[in-house]
Amino acid sequence: MKKIMSFWVCSIASLLLAQGCNAPATGDSKSGAATAQTLPDEESIMAILYQQRAAEYKALCYQAYNIAEMRVREAVENNKHHDSLAVITDLDETALNNSAFEVREYDHDTTYNSADWEKWCKRGEAGPVPGSVAFFKYADSKKVHIFYISNRDTSDVAATMHNMDSLGFPQVARSHFLFKAGSDGSKQGRRDLVAALHYKVVVLLGDNLIDLDSAYDNQSSAIRNNEVDTMEGKWGKNYIVFPNANYGDWENTLYGFKYTYSVAQKDSIRKSYLYGAKY
Ligand SMILES: [Mg+2]
């Protein structure tokens, strides 16, 4: 709705300017900006645009999948003991691009909520992250098993499989999809299941660090950052990370994983985490 209003505001402003009226004073602009900030979705625009329009985003995704392919090739060539090799990947914003859902939410003056998300998942309209289908097809061609470990709900498996099958992803079979059952968002139990099947995991891929290692489960921003330093040698080797400026635990941790803050409270918390030059 606000997008329609924006059109009329712009049109009226153009008319006023054409009639020789002064542009709004700085104070008016600021009060307008403050009003816009009361909408929950306003801060998502730049992140959505980055994901949809930045060539740099696309390049980063190709880069990540190129590194993943390199790791798979090395593992296959060095697989002297004929181990069963596997790749573990997250789906959303790692293999599947849900930015169209984010825009849909923006158009409706809202942000992520589970009811809207479930409807989106059931529609099966997510797109592929650049490079994803080609990489997983390559892994499949080398007989590397793919485990799609996602925190989508288990009730979404069928629709997600249909979505991915239509996009050309390989190994779209029920046993390859390990979705979240219940409320436990940790993926460690599901990674343990893969290990228990005696697969040798070549790489793990994800846009959220919990996709890769339980050291990041429900941790503070400070601990997450320290762990990334501690694991410096794993990035691009065992763990492949994808850019997602739109959402993730990097944001959730700022609110202490508390999801009941008001829009204004979240705005205030976000700003409290900024640091800047003092001059
Ligand atoms: Mg994800």
Q: Quick: pLDDT tens for 179-214.
A: 999 888 999 999 999 999 999 999 999 999 999 999
Q: Check residue 38 and give its pLDDT.
A: 61
Residue at token pair 């997250």: 90
Within a domain: 270: no
φ, ψ dihedrals at 149, nearest 5°: -105, 110
Within a domain: 11: no
Within a domain: 17: no
CA 39–ligand 1 middle distance (angstroms): 25
CATH of the domain at 256: 3.40.50.1000
Within a domain: 24: no
Within a domain: 4: no
CA–CA distance, 183 with 172 (Å, rounded to integer) = 25
Q: Check residue 110 and give its pLDDT.
A: 86
CA 93–ligand 1 middle distance (angstroms): 5
CA 208–ligand 1 middle distance (angstroms): 6
Q: Check residue 37 and give its pLDDT.
A: 52
CA 209–ligand 1 middle distance (angstroms): 9
Q: Which domain holds residue 171?
A: 41-262
Exposure pattern of 40-66 as b/e (b: 16+ CB <10 Å)? Answer: bbbbbeebbebbeeeeebeebbbbbbe
Residue at token pair 């050291």: 215
Q: Check residue 43 and give its pLDDT.
A: 82
Within a domain: 13: no
Q: Percent of the chain, pLDDT > 70?
A: 86
pLDDT under 70: residue ranges of the chain: 1-38
CA 38–ligand 1 middle distance (angstroms): 27
Please state the pTM of the whole predicted model: 0.86
CA 141–ligand 1 middle distance (angstroms): 25
- Residue 34 is encoded by which pair of tokens? 């403050």
How many domains, in total, are found in the chain?
1
